């Protein structure tokens, strides 16, 4: 077997990181590819920093070593920075242009992180910043942001876009299939430009 | 693990317990030295040591692997290098960016546990707070959870401390589901043996942490059929508790009064802080008005912000309520200047 293609999906508990990683998993199954993943989940992560590690075509376990991920998908700017050491040199980063200030900043009086500072630090990677909220609203619902980001990241993934679309169709709630398909396509369109 | 393994080191995976000792011993005797890698207690390592004879064993017991924490590829590599199973690493491993504000998991906006914890901390400032396993374990961030051992242990640990001679008040917290699982035994014991303590049952009508499974307090079975819920009040009284009060923790004044009342009394006091889990409430179609901050009245004192609700932020020295607000209205009662008002009203 060749080296695995390692993907990190990070964000804040409740933003849909698990659905996004399940979509990747399903797309791999559709293509008959080998996949292993590990994620943080459950109440313990509600509102907290979460990560999903996914290894496509790998021979070994699901955990990624720092400096080895090819792609980092992040639903929040601060979380992108927090997990950026997992990316290998020249790795691709697809990041939602959105920052949720952690509640700890207010309760413990820590200086609030600043969007521009974070973006400046992320620029050393191959960065694709996406306003997923805007695109998801255009697709029909702000809740489809995770699928928008996945669409934007699809150019970097070693999977056929048709398999990913099929997986989205299979995994999102039935009545939101149309919105999510549109979200995926609009995200993918945007992803092609950065 | 296997990913890191050099070709001259063999690998044995133990997937079941108890371990066949003859089989294990045969494997060990074929090798020069053994490294045991396992999380938590050195269970496998002990068996390995028993059957290893003269073959040296590396593991937790001789300091090569840590007892605590989760293992990851970098840590396993470190253990293998330390024990001489891998050559020392060349090159550097990328380090995480330092000093980023932490984002630990927190209780939901409008979670009634936060209100209950706030009231407990207010009345029992310097108490010992044994707690249990559920969403409310997150109360550790609010400084109102001191112990979490296993399901039901809040009451048993609490009664032990109450008998120990420690002069602090003991206030334990336990969820409704955990109470019905293994809390009631501890309560019977605490009452029967005359402990001085306050037990707050954080009753959200459901097993929220693990994904909202019904419990005997919910009123529906696992298959969704309606069934009479157990009465926590009657259960506690039947266990011999004289002071049993049920209160809505969203009613902060009421909650504080009940706690103060309990603080004055001897024996085991039970307070049932009862309010439906906010996620369940939303699913059941409960709609509450959202709240907002009148920035002209807000003095930026930070009282509401320190409450720790993710719906409350501090923006330009004033509090702001974001769209996570679930309308519990506890912050309205906290604000010393009355700056938090219903949305759409002034």
Which among A44, A60, A106 has the least Cβ separation from residue B2? A60
Proportion of chain B above pLDDT 70, given as a percent? 99
**C-beta atoms of A113 and B101 within 8 A:** yes
> Is residue B129 left, alpha or beta, with left meaning phi > 0 and alpha meaning psi from -120 to 50?
beta
- Residue % of chain A over a pLDDT of 70: 96
Which residue does chain A place closest to B135, by CA atoms? A43
pLDDT tens by residue, B121-145: 999 999 999 999 999 999 998 999 9
| B72: closest chain A residue by CA | A63
State what percent of residues in chain B have pLDDT above 90. 88
What pLDDT score does A45 carry?
64
Which candidate from A13, A48, A81 shows the least CB-CB separation from B100? A81
pLDDT over threshold 80, residue B1: no
Contacts of B14 (CB under 8 A, 6+ apart): B24, B44
Identify the residue among A15, A107, A120, A124 best suited for mutation to test binding to B, counting B beta carbons within 10 A and taking the highest.
A107
Residue A1, pLDDT score: 47
Dmax (CA) for chain B in angstroms is: 81
Q: Contacts of residue A66 in chain B, CB cutoff 8 Å?
A: 74, 93-96
| Domains, in order of start, for chain B | 2-82 (no CATH), 112-283 (3.40.50.970), 291-342 (3.30.70.20)
Cα separation, A137 vs A120, in Å, equals 27
**B98 Cα to chain A: minimum distance (Å):** 8
Tens-place pLDDT, residues A125-158: 999 999 999 999 999 999 999 999 999 999 999 9
- Chain mean pLDDT for chain B: 94
Q: Cβ separation of B101 and A47 shorter than 8 Å?
A: no
What is the predicted pLDDT for the residue at B345? 61
Q: How many whole angstroms separate alpha carbon A97 and alpha carbon A134?
A: 10
A151-188 pLDDT tens trace: 999 999 999 999 999 999 999 999 999 999 999 999 99
Average pLDDT estimate for A95-105: 92
Task: Please write the tens of the pLDDT for every residue from B235-256.
Answer: 999 999 999 999 999 999 999 9
Residue B318 β-bridge partners: B315
Residue B14 pLDDT more than 70? yes
How many CA atoms are closer than 13 Å to the CA of B121, on its beta-carbon side?
16
Contact A102 B305 (CB under 8 A): no
SS3 A135: helix
From CA B136, how far away is CA B3, in angstroms rounded?
39
Question: Which of A8-12, B13-17, B63-67, B262-266 shows the lowest mean pLDDT across its residues?
Answer: B13-17
Give the pairing type, strands B268-274 and B197-203. parallel
Total CB pairs under 8 A between chain A and B: 98
Which of B162, B160, B204, B163 lies closest to B180, judged by CA?
B204
Where b means 16+ CB within 10 Å and e means fewer, A43-76 reads bebbbbbbbbbbbbbbeeebbbbbbbbbbbbbbb
CA proximity to A74, closest of A149, A154, A152, A168: A149
Quick check: B101 and A110 CB within 8 A?
yes
- B242 prior amide bond cis, ω within 30: no
Q: Which residue of B has its CA nearest to A46?
A: B105
Which of A42, A49, A65 is nearest residue B73 as measured by Cβ atoms? A65
Interface of A with B (CB under 8 A): 12-13, 42-49, 59-61, 63-67, 78-79, 81-86, 101-107, 110, 112-113, 121
Tokens 């949720």, residue located:
A100
Structure pTM?
A: 0.84
The most distant pair of C-alpha atoms in chain A lies apart, rounded to whole Å, by 50
| Distance to chain B for A162, nearest Cα, Å | 32
Per-residue pLDDT at A61: 87
CATH class of A6-191: alpha beta
Find the mean pLDDT for residues B69-92: 89
**Hey, how many other C-beta atoms are within 10 angstroms of the C-beta on B322?**
16
Contact A48 B106 (CB under 8 A): yes
Comparing alpha-carbon positions, the chain B residue that sits nearest to A112 is: B101
Strand partners, B313: B320
Give the 3-state secondary structure of residue B312. strand
Digit-coded pLDDT (tens) for B184-207: 999 999 999 999 999 999 999 999
Nearest CA in chain B to A65: B73
Residue of A nearest to B104 (CA): A48
Domain spans of chain A, in order of start: 6-191
């Amino acid at each position: 077997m060749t080296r695995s293609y390692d993907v990190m999906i990070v964000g804040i508990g409740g933003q849909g990181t698990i659905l996004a990683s399940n979509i990747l998993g399903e797309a791999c199954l559709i293509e008959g590819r080998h996949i292993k993943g590990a994620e943080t989940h459950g109440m313990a992560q509600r509102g907290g920093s979460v990560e999903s590690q996914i290894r496509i075509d790998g021979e070994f376990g699901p955990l990624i070593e720092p400096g080895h991920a090819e792609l980092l998908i992040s639903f929040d700017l601060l979380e992108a920075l927090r997990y950026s050491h997992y990316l290998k040199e020249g790795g691709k980063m697809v990041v939602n242009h959105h920052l949720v200030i952690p509640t700890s900043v207010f309760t413990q009086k820590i200086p609030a992180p600043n969007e521009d500072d974070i973006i400046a630090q992320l620029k050393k990677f191959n960065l694709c910043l996406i306003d997923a909220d805007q695109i998801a609203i255009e697709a029909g619902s702000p809740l489809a942001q995770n699928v928008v980001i996945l669409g934007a990241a699809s150019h970097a993934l070693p999977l056929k876009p048709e398999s990913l679309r099929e997986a989205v169709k299979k995994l999102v709630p039935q009545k939101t299939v149309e919105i999510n398909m549109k979200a995926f396509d609009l995200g993918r369109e945007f992803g092609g430009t950065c | 693990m296997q990913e890191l393994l050099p070709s001259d080191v063999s690998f044995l995976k133990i997937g079941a317990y108890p371990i066949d000792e003859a089989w294990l011993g045969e494997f060990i005797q074929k090798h020069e030295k053994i490294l045991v890698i396992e999380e938590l207690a050195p269970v496998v390592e002990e068996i390995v040591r028993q059957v290893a004879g003269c073959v040296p064993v590396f593991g937790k017991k001789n300091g090569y692997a840590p007892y605590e924490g989760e293992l990851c590829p970098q840590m396993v590599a470190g253990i293998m290098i330390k024990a001489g199973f891998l050559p020392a690493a060349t090159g550097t491993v990328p380090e995480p960016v330092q000093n980023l504000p932490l984002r630990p998991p927190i209780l939901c906006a409008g979670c009634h546990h936060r209100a209950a914890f706030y009231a407990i901390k207010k009345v029992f400032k310097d108490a010992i707070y044994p707690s249990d396993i559920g969403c409310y374990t997150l109360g550790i961030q609010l400084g109102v959870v001191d112990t979490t051992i296993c399901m039901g242990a809040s009451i048993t640990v609490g009664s032990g401390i109450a008998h120990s001679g420690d002069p602090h008040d003991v206030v334990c917290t336990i969820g409704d589901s955990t109470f019905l699982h293994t809390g009631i035994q501890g309560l019977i014991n605490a009452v029967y043996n005359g402990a001085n303590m306050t037990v707050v049952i954080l009753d959200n009508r459901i097993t929220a942490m693990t994904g909202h499974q019904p419990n005997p307090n919910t009123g529906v079975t696992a298959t969704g059929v309606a069934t009479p819920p157990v009465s926590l009040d009657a259960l506690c009284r039947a266990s011999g508790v004289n002071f049993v009060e049920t209160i809505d923790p969203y009613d902060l004044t009421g909650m504080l009064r009940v706690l103060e009342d309990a603080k004055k009394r001897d024996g085991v006091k039970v307070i049932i802080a009862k309010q439906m889990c906010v996620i369940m409430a939303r699913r059941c179609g409960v709609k509450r008005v959202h709240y907002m901050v009148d920035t002209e009245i807000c003095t930026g004192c930070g009282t509401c912000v320190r409450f720790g609700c993710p719906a409350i932020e501090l923006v330009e020295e004033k509090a702001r309520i974001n769209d996570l607000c679930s309308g519990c209205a506890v912050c309205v009662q906290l604000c010393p200047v009355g700056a938090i008002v219903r949305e759409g009203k002034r």
